[in-house]
A and B are shown apart, each in its own frame.
Chain A
């Protein structure tokens, strides 16, 4: 049983077919990259996996159970976490509070407990804070904990967003253009982190990216979308030589 199993998935906006009968499977311990020209349907496919866009046909199963009829928060609670192409961080919260927001479902304090200030509610909040600090430490950015998210540099914001998505140890992580706006050293660092997560934590990562060199180095499987259709899927070097891909995507 695959971790994520997409079968014949289509997404339509009125008369426009953004994703057309796409099928693939993702396994734990692999990085899949999704590339394609602008408007190819990459983000629409991501949104469909995350429950933000309904499918017009097909199914999406996660850990064996269908998730395409669930709401985004239900899908997230099951262990599919994502980052966003633009924004996504809560600018009015500190980096630490952003991670705590990511841990929302893991802080088991009841409304009554919070109201009365019970020991259990205080302990839950303390444990959450401890875990959030440990995560920032693990990612090498403990110094940003108490800074407003909106004041962080682009690279730091990306890292905090990834840490926030990882806070609940999700089996599947969707990264929407994680390398955009990052300087080469930050990209290299991000690449190392993604590889480490996949190899050590055995999670699956699916990422959308335009930076081809980054994609070629980081992924195990490369998928190419064009006009909503999956035109190639395989090891990056193999896909790179695919004639259809060269014509559609690289324009050669």
Chain B
């Protein structure tokens, strides 16, 4: 009796889970076929997720390695790699050299990207809304509450600004994108620096919070009158409306590959301990003012040789072959001298059983 009931149950379950038995079998064999692959699990920043997903997909085509990347936020990436629940962590907020030492981690930059304020204002074209750092701060502080406020209108005589309430959208999770943006805001505004400050998570004066770049982008597209901030690649992927921002030189620039590259051109990676470097509010007439690198975190002492090798091989491939895919999505690949610095670091620092792994 008992067995029959179980059988009935399992059968019902099979039908009810939305797949016919034949299908389940074919899927299971597909899963088995792929079961021989090495798996690498990473988690962290959602800023670089589009490019990591792209790289993982391309890499899997001619290597027996599946890279599973979960965009849980930079804070989560740091805590998960510290807890060794993942093979690599990812963060847009670099750890300081002391923090790296304390947690026995190494850190290296993968790509550089821009952080872009995006809005949803029906009837306003992408790139047509112009903001100065002061106005941006006032909006984010909750001091300008409507889009048709005179301060915004004065800057944008040609834009038909809707009579909408401003909804600020920020990150609910500790995030490197927030880290980059708030460091920029603190650099341009004394008020922001003293009243809100900079960090992976800050006390936002007003607004609603979304999880990850995606959550922010979703709320921005769903709420008329919203302003949020996302990584540059998301602007194009999600058809968001970006703004033009006034940079240090006083020019209004749009976030493009060229303007982010102009900002990154000032970077001096060689003298930054642990690659800890900020790229906000850089000089230059072409520079996009809110840029930053995104970083990978690895444990210095690896406990599985095969996985550790696979991880390093994957990232070496990304540096060598992944540049064009990165550019397609609007990220800047790291220049050759940085790649060499990173390779030297791997050789020196990443070890298994007391011996270096990288050849």
Q: A and B: real partners? A: no
Q: Using a CB–CB distance below 8 Å, which chain A residues touch chain B? A: none
